[in-house]
């Protein structure tokens, strides 16, 4: 019995390998004090499918899958932060992604391609003191539409689940990087984007200055 338990623990640990890197600005507390609202922009997402999965999709379908994934992750992050705000552990407000995306679109900005704009320019458009941007890579799409579409072609079989998030909290008054959070996980990612965000953010929540 004990041997079986040890084997199970070993397998679970191997399956759920994770790695976290975190940078926090020396004056992060000052930046947080001067922040009223943060905005979450859609991350730049890449769903890395295996060659035999890729052959069933056009380049436009892959691009749309990445865009769908980005919006679902943006919503998942907003829900995560909003939950902590209701618990009283979030020190700043979070802008609704619908407002964020609408304000950017009204200025003719592609919400999936805004790298040519400075954080200060984006912050002025959005009316926020901090923006969250970054990159996200996964071997398994978590948005409902993408996951269902891929399952139809692959019979529900995916490569070993893995995900890497590289996320920046940037101050919009001086374009200074306040927090960089880089996390990689490999194993069970959950069933949707919200599950994934919960896994990625759970351990770092007490280490970023925007939460307590």
Q: What is the CATH number of the domain that holds 111?
A: 3.40.50.10610
Whether residue 3 is contained in a domain is answered as no
What 8-state DSSP symbol labels residue 1?
-
Whether residue 162 is contained in a domain is answered as yes
Residues 76-100 pLDDT 10s: 999 999 999 999 999 999 999 999 9
Residue 61: enclosing H or E segment and its boundaries? helix 59-87
pLDDT value for 187: 60
Residues 32-78 pLDDT 10s: 999 999 999 999 998 877 666 666 777 788 888 889 889 989 999 99
Residues 125-162 pLDDT 10s: 999 999 999 999 887 766 544 444 444 444 444 444 67
Whether residue 8 is contained in a domain is answered as no
What SS3 state is found at 51?
A: helix
Residue 19, pLDDT above cutoff 70: yes
Whether residue 28 is contained in a domain is answered as yes
| pTM for this entry | 0.81
Closest of 126, 137, 114, 132 to residue 179, by C-alpha = 132
Q: CA-CA distance, 101 to 42, in Å (whole number)?
A: 8
Range of the structural domain that residue 85 is part of: 18-202
pLDDT value for 53: 63
Q: CA-CA distance, 98 to 74, in Å (whole number)?
A: 10
Whether residue 13 is contained in a domain is answered as no
Whether residue 74 is contained in a domain is answered as yes
Whether residue 12 is contained in a domain is answered as no
- Total domain count, the chain: 1
* Phi, then psi, of 210 in degrees rounded to 5: -85, -10
Percent of the chain residues topping a pLDDT of 70:
75
Per-residue pLDDT averaged across 109-121, rounded? 97
Whether residue 59 is contained in a domain is answered as yes
């Amino acid at each position: 019995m004990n041997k079986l338990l040890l084997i199970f623990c070993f397998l679970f640990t191997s399956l759920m390998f994770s790695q976290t890197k975190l940078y926090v600005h020396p004056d992060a507390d000052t930046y947080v004090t001067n922040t009223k609202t943060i905005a979450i922009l859609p991350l730049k997402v890449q769903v890395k499918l295996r060659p035999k999965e890729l052959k069933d999709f056009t380049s436009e379908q892959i691009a749309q899958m990445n865009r769908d994934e980005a919006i679902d992750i943006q919503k998942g992050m907003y829900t995560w932060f909003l939950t902590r705000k209701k618990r009283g552990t979030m020190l700043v407000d979070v802008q609704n992604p619908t407002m964020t995306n609408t304000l950017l679109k009204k200025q003719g900005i592609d919400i999936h391609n805004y790298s040519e704009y400075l954080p200060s320019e984006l912050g002025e458009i959005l009316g926020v003191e901090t923006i969250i941007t970054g990159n996200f890579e996964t071997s398994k799409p978590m948005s409902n539409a993408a996951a269902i579409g891929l399952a139809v072609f692959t019979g529900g079989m995916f490569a070993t689940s893995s995900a890497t998030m590289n996320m920046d909290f940037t101050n919009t008054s001086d374009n200074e990087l306040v927090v960089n959070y880089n996390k990689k996980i490999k194993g069970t990612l959950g069933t949707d984007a919200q599950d994934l965000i919960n896994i990625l953010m759970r351990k770092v929540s007490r280490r970023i200055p925007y939460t307590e």
